[in-house]
A and B are shown apart, each in its own frame.
Chain A
């Protein structure tokens, strides 16, 4: 979203949200127009307002409708904002900061634990990685062996009991 030159960043989005919210709320309340709001056709006079307020719905119903209209406008505005470059750049920056902080914390904990001769999460993770790749290698070898046994059995005339290759 491009802002009007000279306006503070996000001013246009902010104005658009409020005009949309006020427009929707006034429509929900049955007021024919809002003073100075973009998209509104006329400025309401006292009689127009009174007429709108005196319609069938009670004040609390009207407030509920206005509340709903406000939430709808807010949801729409946030939806657009969360697709904007500004939000995406902010998301990226926050994620980078969160990851950097977490990494610093992990490093500090790891060093502290190592000073006390204790294993850290990173050490456990290394062991798990080793076990996982070890398991892969063993299972690969077993698959090769199964295939060779099948071939041998086929050669001596027995029906092979081949197993599908699974990790």
Chain B
């Protein structure tokens, strides 16, 4: 076969392929109404819940799904201040909350509410020693238990570790999920960008009051700009006729574009004392007049990390296991990203059932279960 024959064949193939491309494009254009309808239809926060305690803008939610409690010890979720409460209860098949509720845990979640200008002076002491502590007290009061289980995600995980260190008498088991505690490594973007020589957090909070949601959202997007601003939409175009893909896509978009501001003083303290000075892991962090010493944590700990996490690399979470005083401690590093750990299909199939059983073994079953 000569080069001329090959080139002729190539042009015929290209012509056929171009025709197919136009047909595909027409099919995608025709599916647009369905895309819009799916975007309208997608709902998040699927597990029924009711508020059982309110303080300022905070609400403590109790999940009710008609399942009888199988365990004495209740479970409290604490997530990052920048997120809404539905992130761990996104949709059917992608709900972390659902795993625990279906297994029979009396499950609670803290909805932080949206801080306004008037909340700019809320600090770490307010959030950890007041809001979280009051929620824990309320859960203990409702369930008649002295101790509860806590699951903290991302910044909420750091806050959970701080709380467990200040109030070890209230925590029976602690599960941390992509929770940063050690910022000594400077090899990823967020750590570099927030270094004191590049980011004056005092000035930032003085000017803005609270850390604006849009600003936080853009910072997260810029961690992986090509993926978040290009590849994602190329994938969307390629899969826009797939109903399930669309449902997942719009649920995720809702999460990613629905951040809330973080109270100014809390943000300032977290960035300055945790991210810039790395005081938490060194046992130097002060909350009010008390020092946070991670060695005070003696309860069983399960530390979940994601191997492809671009926001909280494993190196920021795993040192916790060496810093605590617990003897029953375990770490699972799952092949996923920061969000995949919470919503990835593989994580829900392979990891979360194991996590639920880990907690079930340590939570004291009720009689008859």
Contacts and interface: CB of A to CB of B under 8 A. Distances in A.
Given A58-B17, A128-B121, A50 B189 contact: no
Contacts of A88: 192-193, 198
26 contacts: A50-B6, A53-B6, A54-B9, A59-B18, A60-B20, A71-B226, A71-B231, A74-B230, A78-B226, A82-B222, A83-B192, A88-B192, A95-B200, A96-B200, A102-B207, A102-B208, A124-B117, A124-B118, A125-B120, A125-B209, A128-B119, A128-B121, A129-B121, A132-B121, A166-B130, A167-B130
B226 A95 contact: no
A48 to B, nearest CB: 10
Interface residues of A, number: 35
Interface string B120-133: 11100110011001
A74 B199 contact: no
Interface string A34-47: 00000000000011
Contact of A92 (B20, B133, B199, B225): B199
Contacts of A103: 207
Contacts of B354: none
B51 interface: no
A121 interface: yes
Contacts of A54: 6, 9-10
B36 interface: no
A146 interface: no
A146 to B, nearest CB: 15
A113 interface: no
A1 interface: no
Interface in B232-288: 234, 288
Interface of A: 46-47, 50-51, 53-54, 58-60, 67, 71, 74-75, 78-79, 82-83, 88, 91-92, 95-96, 99, 102-103, 106, 121, 124-125, 128-129, 132, 164, 166-167
Kindly name the residue among B21, B189, B198, B200 whose own CB sees the greatest number of chain A CB atoms within 10 A: B198
B207 A58 contact: no
B189 A83 contact: yes
Most B C-beta atoms less than 10 A away, residue of A54, A59, A125:
A59
B134 interface: yes
A166 B133 contact: yes
A46 B227 CA distance: 35
Contacts of A164: 133
Tell me the interface secondary structure of chain A in the complex.
helix
Contacts of B118: 124-125, 128
Task: Summarize B's interface: helix, strand, loop or mixed.
Answer: helix
Contacts of A83: 189, 192
Given A59-B10, A99-B204, 8 more contacts: A47-B3, A59-B14, A60-B20, A71-B230, A74-B230, A91-B193, A95-B199, A99-B203
A58 B192 contact: no
Contacts of B222: 82
A106 B227 CA distance: 36
Nearest to B1: A54
Interface in B1-58: 3, 6-7, 9-10, 13-14, 17-18, 20-21
B224 interface: yes
Interface centre among A50, A74, A95, A125 (most CB of B within 10 A): A50
Given A54-B6, A124-B117, A124-B118, A92 B198 contact: yes
Nearest to B222: A82
Contacts of A67: 234
Nearest to A101: B207
Contacts of B121: 128-129, 132
The 10 closest A-B pairs by CB, nearest first: A75-B226, A132-B121, A50-B6, A59-B17, A92-B198, A59-B14, A128-B118, A60-B17, A99-B207, A53-B10
A167 B204 contact: no
